[in-house]
A and B are shown apart, each in its own frame.
Chain A
Amino acid sequence: MQEKVLMKGNEAIAEAAILAGCRHYFGYPITPQTEVAAYMAKRMPKIGGTFLQAESEIAAINMVYGVASTGKRAMTSSSSPGISLKTEGISYLAGADLPALIVNVQRGGPGLGGIQPSQSDYFLATRGPGHGDFHVLVFAPSSVQEMADLTSLAFDLAEKYRMPAMLLADGTMGQMMEPVVLPEPTELTREKPWAVTGTKCAREHNIINSLYLSPQELERLNIERFERYKTIEATETRWESFMMDDAEICIVSCGITARVSRNAIVEARKQGIKVGMIRPITLWPFPEKPLLEAAEKVKAFVCVELNMGQMIQDVELAIKCRKPVSLCSRVGGMIPSPEEVLAAIKQANE
């Protein structure tokens, strides 16, 4: 059992990645995730790992692609504008069925935007960040503890399903300090017969590739990939229910806004309003089932997010528009206060 330590969210990601067996980190400086790179720059050389400050976000994701091709765990981290640059590489990772971890500590946009927290890359992450038909596993940590735990889980599931995973945090999660119990070191045992490690002239050559000029073959591979996604949707969806037993209003929120919402829920309960929360931990796959079940019981949903209303679309789809869903959001780096969320709860309760 690891001991409890006080860590910044970004540093918890980095140390958890090392404990998960990642020895190759490639990144490019961008606020508010630079602590991940700084931590790796200090730690990796001491444990025989690679820290490389790449010439660009594009190069960094392609270096990850190179390491992933050899069957080893690799990661990069960035923030929103940098993630835009990485999307080409993420699409290639998905097309070649390669596992890797991409950390996105989101900031406000579009364009250069700002450097304060945001959840405005929700669409980008959950709809497949890049060209073509694909998904990445998307995890939304809501505490420094989860920054560490989900980093570890993301590496495992990415490898299990041979696909990229994205840790979708926000600037607050990256910068805040909290006590954390780091995960136990992962033992890497999975065989990777597909990896390029040199044939040793003892087998046919392995090819890591995403080019298929035969439409029949490319269609078949896309369909196979989506079959795999169905299994993931059925078995890997994660969420947390909070005070949902008797709830009449259901808040849906992740990351920092879920923390704010918790405070608002406690206050609302004091005032006699029966409100609870479903907090998605995986954003893809999205927890549709618990939301649809909740739609049978509650009278309204309130989506609390740091964007102009992105996750709300997934909530409406999940509950098949059976109940009203309202949006409580701030953007540009602003975060709604518990009072603002409480007001939204009261309005939904009327």
Chain B
Amino acid sequence: MTVVFEKPKALTDAVLHYCPGCTHGIVHRLVAEAIDELGIEGRTIGIAPVGCAVMAYDYFACDMIEASHGRAPAVATGVKRSMPENIVFTYQGDGDLASIGLCETVSTAARGENITIIFINNAIYGMTGGQMAPTSLLGQVTQTSPYGRDPKTQGYPINICELLSSLDAPAYLERVTVNSVAHVRQAKKAIKKAFQNQVEGKGFSLVEVLSACPTNWGMTPQKALEWIDEKMIPRYPLGVYRDKED
């Protein structure tokens, strides 16, 4: 008998708490596969956010830290400065990284800390039940934008990759999604590269993953994946925004 598909070693056996159709599970797996393939599990330290992925510390088999809301890049900075030989990554959502923690995100990128950030952008606050995020689309209906996000009073979405690409220091910025097999493959490549860069000491790497939140979008999982194509990608174009190898 041949094993053709197995759970990455960098994931624990804990049962994920994510909703049906949520794409956090896929991204967790891609991160774990990258860690396995690079053989870095034993020296990796991960930092979980506040948000839906708060319990990521139970899911990744490497050493883990749970940070306060938005501060994961600052915590990662401390860890990396203390343990420069270790591989340090944060896993953060849009409220965490692009709203309350935007200052830490920009400053850590500007310093070019040699860390890896996996940024889940699903255009909504999931954990608290579906409020407007800094990345919510114009017109998007959420609990706190019940008439649709109105730019006159609620401003415009923040495009993190574009914002960070105005800085000198970041080594690698790419936006991907996981709503199809082809996109998952591309996301895997990007995530692995973001870790590989750190192993090679290239500096700050961030991968933004457009993700689905069927529960709070009020859609079926299938419809949610289509919504990424129809609504999110036009606002958040996929692609490489910085690659110092270029």
**A interface list, Cβ under 8 A from B:** 24, 26, 50, 52, 54-56, 58-60, 62-70, 72, 74, 88-89, 92, 96, 196-202, 205-211
Given A196-B45, A199-B41, A209-B57, are A62 and B104 also a contact pair (CB < 8 Å)? yes
A58 to chain B: which residues have CB within 8 Å? 71, 74, 103-104
A222 to B107 alpha-carbon distance, docked (Å): 35
Tell which of A24, A56, A60, A65 touches B81, judged by Cβ atoms closer than 8 Å.
A24
B76 to chain A: which residues have CB within 8 Å? 66
Which of chain B's residues 47-82 have a Cβ closer than 8 Å to chain A?
47, 54-55, 57-58, 60-68, 71, 74-82
Can you list 23 residue pairs at the A/B interface with Cβ under 8 Å? A24-B81, A54-B107, A56-B103, A58-B74, A59-B104, A62-B68, A62-B75, A65-B75, A66-B78, A67-B82, A69-B75, A69-B79, A70-B83, A89-B71, A92-B68, A198-B44, A198-B45, A198-B83, A205-B60, A205-B62, A207-B58, A208-B64, A209-B64
B63 near A197 (CB under 8 angstroms)? Answer: yes
Tell which of A24, A202, A206 touches B82, judged by Cβ atoms closer than 8 Å.
A24
Q: How far is the CB of B73 from chain A (nearest CB, A)?
A: 8
A63 near B81 (CB under 8 angstroms)? Answer: yes
Tell which of A66, A201, A209, A210 touches B77, judged by Cβ atoms closer than 8 Å.
A66
A125 to B196 alpha-carbon distance, docked (Å): 44
A66 near B61 (CB under 8 angstroms)? Answer: no
| 6 extra A-B contacts, CB within 8 A, seeds A67-B81, A70-B78 | A58-B71, A59-B71, A62-B74, A65-B65, A196-B65, A197-B63
Q: How far is the CB of B232 from chain A (nearest CB, A)?
A: 29
A202 near B79 (CB under 8 angstroms)? Answer: no
B79 to chain A: which residues have CB within 8 Å? 66-67, 69-70, 196
A280 to B76 alpha-carbon distance, docked (Å): 38
Tell which of A50, A66, A197 touches B75, judged by Cβ atoms closer than 8 Å.
A66
Given A196-B65, A199-B63, A200-B43, are A55 and B107 also a contact pair (CB < 8 Å)? yes
Closest to A73 in B: B82
Closest to A65 in B: B75
Closest to B39 in A: A201
B41 to chain A: which residues have CB within 8 Å? 199, 201
B42 within 8 A of A: yes
B65 near A66 (CB under 8 angstroms)? Answer: yes
Tell which of A65, A66, A196, A211 touches B54, judged by Cβ atoms closer than 8 Å.
A211
A201 to B42 alpha-carbon distance, docked (Å): 5
Listed from nearest, the 4 A-B pairs whose CB atoms lie closest are A66-B78, A55-B107, A62-B74, A196-B63
A64 to chain B: which residues have CB within 8 Å? 78
**B interface list, Cβ under 8 A from A:** 12, 41-45, 47, 54-55, 57-58, 60-68, 71, 74-83, 86, 103-104, 106-107
A159 to B79 alpha-carbon distance, docked (Å): 18
A69 near B65 (CB under 8 angstroms)? Answer: yes
A67 to chain B: which residues have CB within 8 Å? 78-79, 81-82
A81 to B144 alpha-carbon distance, docked (Å): 32
Q: How far is the CB of A65 from chain B (nearest CB, A)?
A: 5
Given A26-B78, A56-B103, A62-B74, are A198 and B62 also a contact pair (CB < 8 Å)? yes
Closest to A60 in B: B74
A26 to B43 alpha-carbon distance, docked (Å): 24
B60 to chain A: which residues have CB within 8 Å? 205
Q: How far is the CB of A162 from chain B (nearest CB, A)?
A: 15
Tell which of B63, B66, B75 touches A198, judged by Cβ atoms closer than 8 Å.
B63
A65 near B61 (CB under 8 angstroms)? Answer: no
A210 to B68 alpha-carbon distance, docked (Å): 9
Q: How far is the CB of B201 from chain A (nearest CB, A)?
A: 17
A66 to chain B: which residues have CB within 8 Å? 47, 65, 74-82
Given A69-B65, A205-B60, A207-B57, are A63 and B75 also a contact pair (CB < 8 Å)? yes
Interface centre among B58, B63, B68, by most A CB within 10 Å? Answer: B63
A4 to B68 alpha-carbon distance, docked (Å): 43
A264 to B45 alpha-carbon distance, docked (Å): 56
A199 to chain B: which residues have CB within 8 Å? 41-42, 61-63
A208 to B58 alpha-carbon distance, docked (Å): 11
A59 to B60 alpha-carbon distance, docked (Å): 25
A212 to B51 alpha-carbon distance, docked (Å): 14
B81 near A198 (CB under 8 angstroms)? Answer: no
Q: How far is the CB of A236 from chain B (nearest CB, A)?
A: 27
Closest to B67 in A: A62
Closest to B61 in A: A205
A24 to B79 alpha-carbon distance, docked (Å): 10
Q: How far is the CB of B51 from chain A (nearest CB, A)?
A: 12
Q: How far is the CB of B56 from chain A (nearest CB, A)?
A: 10
Tell which of A50, A59, A74, A209 touches B107, judged by Cβ atoms closer than 8 Å.
A59
B103 to chain A: which residues have CB within 8 Å? 55-56, 58-59
B81 near A52 (CB under 8 angstroms)? Answer: yes
B64 near A196 (CB under 8 angstroms)? Answer: yes
B78 near A207 (CB under 8 angstroms)? Answer: no
Closest to A59 in B: B74
B74 to chain A: which residues have CB within 8 Å? 54, 58-60, 62-63, 65-66
A54 to B74 alpha-carbon distance, docked (Å): 9
A67 to B62 alpha-carbon distance, docked (Å): 17
A210 to chain B: which residues have CB within 8 Å? 66
B82 to chain A: which residues have CB within 8 Å? 24, 50, 66-67, 70, 72, 74
Q: How far is the CB of A140 from chain B (nearest CB, A)?
A: 27
Q: How far is the CB of B105 from chain A (nearest CB, A)?
A: 10
